[in-house]
Chains A and B, each alone.
Chain A
């Protein structure tokens, strides 16, 4: 992690996001939480219970924990990550299971990462309605 005030390179910002996905993959939500600022905001989409805005680290980590508890065999495989000064975008091949049914999708995560390598805001673009139709019907 860079010192406070030090501007990270794009590669360092990308690594911070990769670390987050790796942390989630091994179930280490404490490590994931360390990558968000206290006032971070998570913008979920769609009408599933994971849709909507989750403001503050506690709220967004709670949402993430509930997601991990709701689905089984969650896979979030990073296909590519791109970055510029303001954004880091992760293209992710995902799949989840629930009650024996599997739903595979391509998701796009858009992050704002500050100069200390912490995420301040996240948007998730995915076909949540298809997810709901596939696994919750």
Chain B
């Protein structure tokens, strides 16, 4: 984490995002990675508001399935956004669904997530939700 007030470079944001995504698959989510008013909108969790609620939802995600793996295929960043193209693997009810997930993140100058939007391809989402 950079010092308060320090503006992170896109490359630093990419590295932070990569670690955060890999950590999420293990249920490891850092409270400090999110601003207090962070908002998450996702295919699996709906809309979640506030740092504590977002972190709780992200920690819960892997526990909802027998297996939950997010592998970043590519992460891009500029001054305003981080976009992660993710290969998602979810196992539930003994069946495995593999899908592409797009995650769009707004971060502040300290690299904290202020808004996170995650979309899973609709066909795969239906399969996951039908388990």
Which residues in A have some Cβ–Cβ distance to B below 8 Å?
Answer: 45-47, 51, 80, 82-84, 86-87, 89, 91, 106, 108, 110, 123, 125-129
Contact = CB atoms under 8 A, between A and B. Distances in A.
Given A80-B81, A108-B102, 7 more contacts: A82-B83, A87-B76, A106-B104, A110-B102, A125-B119, A127-B119, A128-B122
28 contacts: A45-B121, A46-B121, A46-B122, A46-B123, A47-B122, A47-B123, A80-B78, A82-B77, A82-B78, A82-B83, A83-B76, A84-B74, A84-B76, A89-B76, A91-B81, A91-B83, A91-B104, A106-B104, A108-B102, A108-B104, A110-B102, A123-B100, A125-B102, A125-B119, A125-B121, A126-B119, A127-B119, A128-B122
B114 to A, nearest CB: 15
A106 B117 contact: yes
A45 B117 contact: no
Contacts of B100: 123, 125
B108 to A, nearest CB: 16
Interface string B57-82: 00000000000000000101110110
A110 B85 contact: yes
Contact of A86 (B74, B104, B121, B123): B74
B77 to A, nearest CB: 7
Interface string B87-123: 0000000000000101010000000000001010111
- Interface centre among B81, B122, B123, by most A CB within 10 Å? B122
